[in-house]
């Protein structure tokens, strides 16, 4: 039995219906799902949400799958602007509404965390204003999540207002270090942004982790690659997660591989299990 709980992101199954994606992910032997709320996968703005959420919760439970809720859908909120509006935009009310809905969905399906990020600072918004908006928005969503018993995992993302662990710590400190405000870490982003080896980045992050996304990247290349395509020493990364006592999902995130989702998901799990055997 693996010491870590591997999951797979539904954004890598964009060509599948959600029910079928869950069936495939479970059938391959994964223990969880990273569910990106999107127009084709549990759209939080479409009619009949309560009924659809209950059906997804039942399906996850039937397959004994854990779940985290991801909020990185590209064009769910605006068909013209990728990822917009964010918490930094003038019209950020729609993003706040979306995140509140995501927390409600997460609570109703028994999710382990809700993951979100800052967004790229709009050119027309100065940095102090963007930072103030981010702190205010995170405070609101963290409070909503705490009331529902759902941790939030804030993700540092390359090119965004908060793009590394130092930025995450600054944000957490300004929020007053609330218990519900955790860290969502993309392993590939450590390779892109942090100066030390990836395993050391993971070890520093481990006490705060509520969600882990795993993929491969080359130094400075912000692109999700299949395992082995980049430069990450995965056995040492998995060792750092195990030694750090992480018990949440380690979810494969390959959103550009939906065209071959079952094959890529199968190969990803085999790769991670083999890497973990090297450190036992």
One DSSP character per residue, 244-262 reads TT--SEEEE--TT-GGGHH
Q: Count of CB atoms within 10 A of residue 152's CB?
A: 30
Domain 5-277 has CATH 3.20.20.150: yes
pLDDT of residue 220: 61
What tokens were used for 180? Answer: 């519900």
pLDDT of residue 222: 66
Residues contacting residue 222 through CB under 8 Å, at least 6 positions apart: 158, 159, 189, 192
Residues contacting residue 159 through CB under 8 Å, at least 6 positions apart: 120, 222
- SS3 assignment, position 32: strand
pLDDT of residue 19: 97
pLDDT < 50 stretches in the chain:
none
pLDDT of residue 216: 81
Measuring CA to CA, which residue among 168, 63, 64, 46 is closest to residue 115? 168
One DSSP character per residue, 176-240 reads T--TTEEEEEEHHHHHHH-SS-HHHHHHHHGGGEEEEEE-B--TT--S-B-TTSS---HHHHHHH
Residues contacting residue 200 through CB under 8 Å, at least 6 positions apart: 194, 240
pLDDT of residue 229: 80
Half-sphere exposure of 172 (CA within 13 A, CB side): 21
pLDDT of residue 102: 98
pLDDT of residue 228: 78
């Amino acid at each position: 039995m693996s010491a870590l709980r591997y999951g797979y992101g539904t954004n890598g199954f964009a060509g599948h219906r959600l029910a079928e994606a869950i069936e495939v992910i479970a059938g391959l032997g994964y223990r969880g799902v990273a569910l990106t709320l999107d127009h084709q996968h549990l759209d939080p703005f479409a009619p009949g949400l309560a009924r659809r959420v209950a059906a997804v919760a039942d399906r996850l439970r039937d397959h004994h799958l854990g779940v985290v809720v991801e909020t990185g859908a590209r064009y769910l909120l605006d068909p013209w602007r990728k990822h917009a509006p964010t918490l930094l935009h003038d019209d950020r009310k729609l993003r706040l509404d979306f995140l509140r809905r995501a927390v409600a969905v997460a609570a109703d399906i028994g999710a382990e965390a809700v993951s979100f990020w800052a967004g790229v600072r709009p050119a027309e918004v100065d940095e102090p204003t963007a930072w103030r908006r981010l702190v205010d928005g995170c405070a609101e969503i963290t409070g909503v999540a705490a009331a529902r018993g759902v941790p939030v995992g804030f993700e540092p993302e390359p090119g965004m207002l908060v793009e590394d662990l130092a930025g995450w710590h600054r944000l957490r400190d300004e929020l007053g270090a609330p218990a519900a405000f955790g860290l969502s870490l993309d392993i590939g982003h450590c390779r892109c942004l942090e100066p030390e080896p990836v395993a050391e980045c993971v070890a520093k992050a481990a006490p705060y982790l509520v969600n882990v996304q795993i993929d491969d990247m080359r130094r400075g290349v912000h692109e999700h690659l299949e395992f082995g395509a980049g430069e990450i020493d995965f056995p040492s990364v998995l060792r750092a997660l195990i030694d750090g006592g992480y018990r949440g999902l380690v979810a494969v995130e390959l959103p550009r591989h939906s065209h071959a989702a079952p094959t890529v998901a199968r190969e990803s799990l085999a790769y991670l299990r083999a890497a973990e055997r090297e450190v036992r």
